[in-house]
A and B are shown apart, each in its own frame.
Chain A
Amino acid sequence: MSEYYKDEDLDRFCEVGKHSPDLFRKFMDWYNSSLQPGLLTKREKVLIGLAVAHVLQCPYCVDSYTKSCLEEGMTLEHITEAVHAASAVRGGASLIHCIQAHNAADKVSL
């Protein structure tokens, strides 16, 4: 499995557009525009990126958004705190399904 998630593959991202250039261009325009500062600052958007990267566990995004956080003046303390927040929301999202389990169990129980 060592051929997965090679560092150098991130630099080949644009090759994804080889077989559908219009869609890739639209994605890149959308991606770049979405990450520009607006009502939210660049720093806030970078933190959203870091949170999503960890919840989705994308190694490329984790590397990339960790560097972006450092470039926004954040430290490992900031990064760790943000990942805790993201992980807690993710944990809560799993835990709330326990109600679904309770409901399902109630439905078939005496």
Chain B
Amino acid sequence: MTFKDKIIQSGSGPLQAAGIEILQVNLGYKCNMTCKHCHVQAGPGRDEMMAENNVDALLDALTGTGIGCLDITGGAPELNPHFRRLVRKAREAGLTVIVRSNLTIYYEPGMEGLFDFYRDHGVEIIASLPHYREAVVDRVRGADVFRKSLSALLLLNSLGYGANGSSLRLNLVYNPQGAFLPPSQAALEEEYKKELSARYGISFNSLYTFINMPIGRFKEFLDRSGNYEKYMEKLKNSFNAGTVCGLMCRRLINVGWDGMLYDCDFNQMAGLAVLPDYPRHIGEFDYSLLGERKIAVDDHCFGCTAGQGST
């Protein structure tokens, strides 16, 4: 059964947006890392990058709407030359700004002062750390990534990030390191906090457990290892109708590096733009129309409705 049919059969579909609270932008696919689970297939060799005119159109779209949060992702979004201006302008407009940072970017040339910039602008950081064990992180994300990530986290802690009661929020992301589902978010968060604090003196606010979407580099792994069919079967069998109401696509719109609009970053990587009945480019952004749009779905969406959900 397709996701489209499943969502209707469960009485929760077709999926429709319930406003737009978050505008998520992918500033480009270039990254200093080539993580094995990356749905974007980001890496140093990618040159897709949002241009200045689309950044300006994005800032225009944020003006005078009900959107309260700008969620910036990539690649490593910090590599986009317009990144800091976008953050500054969005904060001046009163928006919450979230940056999905890979942490190691701080150690690349030209990134000096990046974390001070985050602190000075009250940027919320969501950082990937697939485990609290070094061998696992380095296997998935590359050699020496764990050590660099710890150094970056300690530096962020020293700037006030991740402390209890601090407004500087530092959240971590766990991804399964293969073709299996994540554990309970609450239980793993407790374990991460205990281990990172006891072993390294690191603190953070929340842990998000994400499901690996069967697209991009992870899909290639599934195909290559012969795991694709079983993984899809697992996602489908774990469908939980209770997750549908909170799906991020119902309150978020995603903008690609070229200004095209998508219902989420996963749809962007699957080449599935917003349905043709609606504006499809940031230059034509219409909050009212897009806030009530019907959402484009495909079978990778089973990844967001499996188990406790992933959103």
B135: chain A residues within 8 A (beta carbon): 75-77
A77 touches B183 (CB 8 A): no
Report yes or no: A71 in contact with B183, Cβ–Cβ below 8 A: yes
Contact of A75 among B133, B181, B182, B184 (CB under 8 A): B133
Which bracket fits the contact residues of A? 10 to 19
Q: Are the CB atoms of B182 and A73 closer together than 8 Å?
A: yes
Identify whether the interface residues of B are mostly helix, strand, loop, or mixed.
Answer: loop
Please tell me if the beta carbons of A71 and B131 are within 8 angstroms of each other in the complex.
no
Q: Per-residue CB proximity of B180-213 to A under 8 Å, as 1/0? A: 1111100110010000000000000000000000
Write out the residue numbers on chain B whose beta carbons fall within 8 Å of the beta carbon of A84: none
Contact of B180 among A41, A42, A71, A77 (CB under 8 A): A71
The residues of B that contact A77 with a CB separation of less than 8 Å are 133, 135
Contact residues in B for A41 (Cβ distance below 8 Å): 187
Q: Does A90 contact B (CB under 8 A)?
A: no
Which residues 157-201 of B sit at the A interface, judged by CB distance below 8 A? 174, 176-178, 180-184, 187-188, 191
**How big is chain B's contact interface, by range?**
10 to 19
Q: A41-B187, A43-B187 are in contact. Are A70 and B133 (CB under 8 A)?
A: no
Bound-state CA distance A42–B186 (Å) is: 13
| Contacting residues of chain A (61-110) with chain B, CB-CB under 8 angstroms | 67, 70-73, 75-77
In the complex, residue of chain B having the shortest beta-carbon distance to the beta carbon of A46: B183
B191-A70 in contact (CB<8A): no
CB <8 Å contact, B176 and A71: yes
Q: Do the beta carbons of A70 and B180 come within 8 Å of each other? A: yes
B245 at the interface (CB under 8 A from A): no
- The reply to whether A73 and B180 form a contact with Cβ atoms under 8 Å apart is no
Residues of B within 8 A of A73 (CB): 131, 174, 182-183, 187-188, 191
Indicate if the CB atoms of A71 and B188 lie closer than 8 Å.
Answer: no
Are B133 and A72 neighbours in the complex by a CB distance under 8 Å?
no
Interface flag for B136 (CB, 8 Å)? yes
22 residue pairs of the A-B complex, CB under 8 angstroms, read: A41-B187, A43-B183, A43-B187, A67-B180, A70-B176, A70-B177, A70-B178, A70-B180, A71-B176, A71-B181, A71-B182, A73-B131, A73-B182, A73-B183, A73-B187, A73-B188, A75-B131, A75-B133, A75-B135, A75-B177, A76-B135, A77-B133
B: residues with CB less than 8 A from A are 131, 133, 135-136, 174, 176-178, 180-184, 187-188, 191
Measuring CB to CB, which residues of chain A are less than 8 angstroms from any residue of chain B? 41-43, 67, 70-73, 75-77
In addition to A67-B180, A71-B181, A75-B177, 4 A-B residue pairs with Cβ atoms within 8 Å of each other are A41-B187, A71-B182, A73-B131, A75-B131
